[in-house]
């Protein structure tokens, strides 16, 4: 038995034979051109060796750096730079040798050997020319140019370093000056505070303020005790004592009070002598008393208001008619003095508290100020170190100018050698080209086959289905017909292809369907894409079931395409295209037709093509039609569109007992089939009965030599035996 891999590769060879043949002929033609080339002329080449210059004993670091950088140029791109080739070409012209930079580059080869472990790199430079003397002259000139170019490059590197350092120095110096100015300004502003904190004077001020506050509080306690004692003796507050003392000390108020007292005494004597109120003497006394009281009130008001020269006294706290004796007046003055001292101490404590708070804030911010000062000093140090380093590098680089030399030296001067190239054997070239062409052509065919997403062999298709744990109902062969374009529908009862479909029906009955002992009665046939043979499979399964004695109905449920019933000599009524719902309802046309030459087979032709196919499939008429068909027939087979085209098969699946998926080697696409199987497996409402492989290599019962004599291979070869209409649409196979 042929290996599946070899079988698949042979199929790929049949498909892509022209691509492989083209590759083979192209390589073979190229090898023929190479084999027919004339022998190359005798050539001369000059060869010399360049090595790294020995390390120099340098007094500067920059010279050592330049020397190390220059040692990396021993490679082909650096040695054969465009600048060198142009200069060598110009010098050769002056010496009478006409060679362009391109010619020099093409005829020069550089082989770099060695490394650090072998003591340094060496470059073997070879120049090929048809003249021995010219080859030597060119290579000598190139060696001189390479050594000089290395020295010039080292000088340029050194000058670039000096220029870069001089360019960086001004901004670094400016940054250093700015950092120094910032530190100096910070010391002017915060230096005294930091110094005061460091020498302890700030702590002394804080301690002194707190001590003074405590002393004032002790003094306030004594003053409060004296004030309380005086207030108890006088029966007056400090404000009342101050007002009473001020009123008692005023001479006008004292005089007015004395006169008022005298008039009051006279009035009392008159009243005691039984003088009537309207007596002139009484009236004069009352008038005088009122006048004195009015003057007294005005004077008291003047004293309380301060006469516009002193602060106003608090009114309403003292009886204006009261007068303090000298002893009480002295106590009142003492009380006022103590109150003044108390207010003074309270104000002093407030000022001391604010001062202490400010000093504590200064002391608490001292660490931040010290850190800021250290940060600024650190910045100055960094910029100063960078500035000093740049200055030192500039001095070192300027001193290195006298030590800069070339990094290359000539280890072996150019010598000329004769180069006699060997002509390859034409037969060997052709043989090698043929072998290479075969390998390349086979590789192209293999690569194209790998890029092909179609499942090509039945074995690959079966393996894919087994990997997905999908049941395989069977495999049916490719049906050969005469003529070749005829529809492969098995209308003859003795066709040898019937056995394949009968085995599929037998396996379908054993799928474990619980609702019927004979297996599923209503099945849906579909495929993933077109041309996989789902319609032919549905027709032939229906024919096989009918010939097995089961009353079978084939429903053309692909309403998006025209009917294929003409292959069974059935012609659909044109009126059903206009009224599909009434057609399935039984009102228009005959929606169930009996096939005249196949017993037990009935067909429901499609009223398609229809624009509203999904609505028709989901209609109540279609549901009643299928329910009625389930009751009337032993088996109902629905031919539906492919899954990648529309979802009509999924709409009808819930009204059936399960779905049969048709796959065909050479047509089925691997990615589409995997996606469809995964989606069907995830949907628990859809029952996939199995997969039927169409177009497989199945051994038939009859010998293949009898094919031309067996009418079972044919589709209605005798027109008089099976009348049928001419097909107007291609069948999906």
Check residues 696 and 713 and name the one with the higher pLDDT.
696
Which of the four pLDDT bands, split at 50, 70 and 90, describes residue 75?
A: confident
- With a cut of 70, say whether residue 216 has pLDDT above it: yes
Computed over every residue of the chain, the mean pLDDT equals: 78
Q: Are 147 and 408 in contact (CB under 8 A)?
A: yes
- Reported as a single tens digit per residue, the pLDDT across 102-121 is 888 888 888 888 755 455 67
Q: Which of 331-335, 357-361, 615-619, 689-693 has the lowest mean pLDDT?
A: 357-361
- With a cut of 60, say whether residue 315 has pLDDT above it: no
- With a cut of 80, say whether residue 614 has pLDDT above it: yes
CA–CA–CA angle 232, 234, 240 (5° rounding): 110
Beta strands 688-696 and 472-477: pairing type? parallel
DSSP bridge pairs for 419 = 43
Q: Are 710 and 490 in contact (CB under 8 A)?
A: no
Predicted local distance difference test score (pLDDT) of residue 536: 92
- Reported as a single tens digit per residue, the pLDDT across 526-581 is 999 988 889 999 999 999 999 989 999 999 999 998 888 888 888 877 777 888 88
- With a cut of 50, say whether residue 714 has pLDDT above it: no
Fill in the DSSP letter of residue 424: P
Q: Which residue in 378, 377, 370, 357 sits closest to 191, CA to CA?
A: 370
Q: Which residue in 577, 578, 610, 572 sits closest to 592, CA to CA?
A: 572
Superfamily assignment of 458-478+499-702 in CATH?
P-loop containing nucleotide triphosphate hydrolases (3.40.50.300)
pTM for this one? 0.45
Rounded Cα gap, residues 369 and 189, in angstroms: 11
Rounded Cα gap, residues 396 and 63, in angstroms: 9
- With a cut of 80, say whether residue 464 has pLDDT above it: yes
Q: Are 550 and 664 in contact (CB under 8 A)?
A: no
Domain ranges of the chain: 4-39+434-451, 43-170+412-419, 458-478+499-702
Mean pLDDT, residues 226-244 taken together: 76
Mean pLDDT, residues 75-91 taken together: 85
Alpha helices in 424-563 (DSSP H): 426-451, 458-467, 498-509, 534-547
Rounded Cα gap, residues 680 and 471, in angstroms: 13
User: Which three-class secondary structure string do you get for 168-192?
Assistant: HHHHHHHHHHHHHHHHHHHHHHHHH
Which of the four pLDDT bands, split at 50, 70 and 90, describes residue 322?
A: low
Which of the four pLDDT bands, split at 50, 70 and 90, describes residue 659?
A: very high
Predicted local distance difference test score (pLDDT) of residue 43: 72
- With a cut of 50, say whether residue 707 has pLDDT above it: no
Tokens, residue 397: 């680089």
Task: For the chain, state the CA radius of gyration.
Answer: 62
Query: Cβ–Cβ contacts within 10 Å for residue 380, how many?
Result: 20
Mean pLDDT, residues 165-191 taken together: 86
Rounded Cα gap, residues 129 and 315, in angstroms: 131
Predicted local distance difference test score (pLDDT) of residue 725: 34
Which of the four pLDDT bands, split at 50, 70 and 90, describes residue 373?
A: confident
Q: Which residue in 313, 326, 323, 329 sits closest to 257, CA to CA?
A: 323
Query: Cβ–Cβ contacts within 10 Å for residue 191, how many?
Result: 13
- Reported as a single tens digit per residue, the pLDDT across 24-36 is 788 878 877 777 7
Which residues, 6+ apart, have CB-to-CB distance to 671 below 8 Å? Answer: 453
Q: Which of 77-81, 399-403, 502-506, 622-626 has the lowest mean pLDDT?
A: 399-403
- With a cut of 80, say whether residue 364 has pLDDT above it: no
- With a cut of 90, say whether residue 391 has pLDDT above it: no
Structural domain 43-170+412-419, CATH architecture? 2-Layer Sandwich (3.30)
Beta strands 43-52 and 408-419: pairing type? antiparallel
Which of the four pLDDT bands, split at 50, 70 and 90, describes residue 2?
A: low
User: In a 10 Å sphere around its CB, with 0-12 CB exposed, 13-18 middle and 19+ buried, how is residue 132 labelled?
Assistant: middle
CA–CA–CA angle 619, 625, 626 (5° rounding): 95
């Amino acid at each position: 038995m042929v290996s599946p891999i070899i079988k698949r590769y042979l199929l790929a060879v049949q498909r892509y034979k022209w691509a492989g043949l083209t590759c083979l002929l192209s390589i073979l033609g190229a090898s023929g051109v190479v084999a027919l080339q004339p022998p190359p002329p005798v050539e001369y080449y000059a060869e010399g060796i360049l090595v790294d210059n020995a390390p120099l004993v340098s007094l500067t670091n920059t010279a050592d750096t330049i020397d190390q950088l220059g040692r990396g140029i021993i490679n082909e791109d650096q040695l054969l730079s465009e600048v060198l080739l142009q200069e060598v070409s110009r010098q050769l012209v002056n010496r009478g040798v006409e060679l362009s930079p391109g010619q020099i580059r093409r005829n020069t080869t550089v082989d770099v050997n060695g490394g650090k472990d072998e003591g340094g790199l060496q470059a073997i430079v070879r120049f090929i020319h048809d003249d021995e003397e010219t080859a030597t002259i060119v290579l000598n000139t190139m060696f001189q140019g390479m050594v000089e170019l290395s020295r010039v490059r080292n000088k340029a590197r050194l000058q670039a370093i000096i220029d870069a350092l001089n360019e960086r120095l001004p901004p670094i110096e400016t940054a250093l000056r700015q950092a120094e100015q910032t530190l100096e300004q910070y010391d002017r502003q915060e230096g005294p505070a930091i110094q005061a904190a460091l020498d302890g004077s700030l702590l002394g001020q804080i301690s002194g303020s707190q001590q003074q506050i405590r002393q004032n509080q002790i003094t306030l306690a004594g003053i409060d005790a004296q004030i309380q004692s005086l207030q108890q003796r006088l029966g007056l507050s400090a404000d009342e004592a101050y007002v009473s003392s001020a009123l008692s000390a005023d001479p006008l108020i004292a005089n007015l009070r004395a006169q008022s007292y005298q008039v009051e005494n006279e009035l009392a004597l008159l009243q005691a002598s039984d003088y009537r109120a309207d007596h002139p003497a009484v009236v004069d006394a009352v008038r005088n008393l009122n006048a004195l009281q009015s003057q007294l009130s005005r004077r008291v008001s003047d004293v309380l208001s301060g006469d516009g020269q002193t602060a106003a006294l608090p009114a309403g706290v003292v009886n204006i008619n009261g007068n303090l004796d000298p002893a009480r007046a002295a106590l009142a003055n003492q009380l006022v003095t103590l109150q003044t001292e108390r207010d003074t101490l309270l104000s002093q404590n407030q000022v001391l508290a604010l001062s202490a708070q400010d000093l504590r804030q200064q002391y608490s911010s001292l660490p931040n100020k010290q850190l800021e000062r250290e940060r600024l000093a650190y910045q100055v140090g960094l910029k100063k170190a960078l500035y000093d380093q740049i200055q030192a590098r500039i001095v070192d680089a300027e001193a290195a100018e006298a030590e800069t030399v070339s990094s290359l030296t000539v280890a072996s001067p150019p010598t000329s050698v004769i180069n006699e190239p060997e002509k390859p054997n034409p037969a060997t070239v052709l043989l090698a080209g043929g072998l290479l062409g075969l390998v390349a052509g086979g590789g192209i065919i293999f690569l194209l086959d790998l890029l092909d997403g179609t499942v090509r062999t039945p074995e690959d298709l079966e393996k894919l289905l087994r990997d997905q744990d999908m049941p395989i109902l069977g495999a049916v062969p490719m049906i050969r017909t005469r003529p070749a374009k005829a529809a492969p529908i098995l209308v003859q009862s003795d066709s040898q292809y019937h056995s394949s479909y009968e085995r599929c029906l037998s396996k379908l009955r054993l799928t474990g369907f619980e609702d019927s002992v004979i297996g599923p009665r209503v099945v849906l046939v579909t495929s993933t894409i077109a041309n996989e043979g789902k319609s032919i499979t549905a027709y032939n399964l229906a024919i096989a079931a009918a010939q097995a004695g089961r009353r079978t109905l084939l429903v053309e449920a692909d309403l998006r395409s025209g009917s294929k019933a003409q292959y069974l000599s059935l012609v659909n009524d044109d009126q059903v295209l206009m009224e599909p719902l009434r057609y399935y309802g039984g009102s228009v046309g005959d929606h169930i037709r009996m096939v005249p030459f196949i017993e037990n087979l009935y067909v429901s032709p499609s009223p398609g093509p229809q624009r509203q196919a999904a609505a028709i499939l989901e209609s109540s008429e279609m549901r009643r039609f299928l329910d009625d068909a389930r009751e009337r027939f032993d088996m109902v087979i629905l031919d539906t569109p492919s899954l990648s085209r529309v979802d009509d098969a999924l709409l009808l699946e819930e009204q059936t007992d399960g779905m049969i998926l048709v796959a065909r080697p050479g047509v089925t696409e691997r990615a589409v089939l995997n996606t469809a199987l995964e989606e069907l497996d995830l949907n628990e409402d859809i029952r996939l009965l199995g997969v039927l492989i169409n177009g497989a290599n199945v051994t038939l019962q009859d010998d293949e030599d009898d094919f031309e004599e067996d009418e079972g291979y044919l589709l209605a070869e005798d027109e008089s035996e099976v009348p049928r209409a001419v097909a107007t649409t291609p069948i999906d196979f």
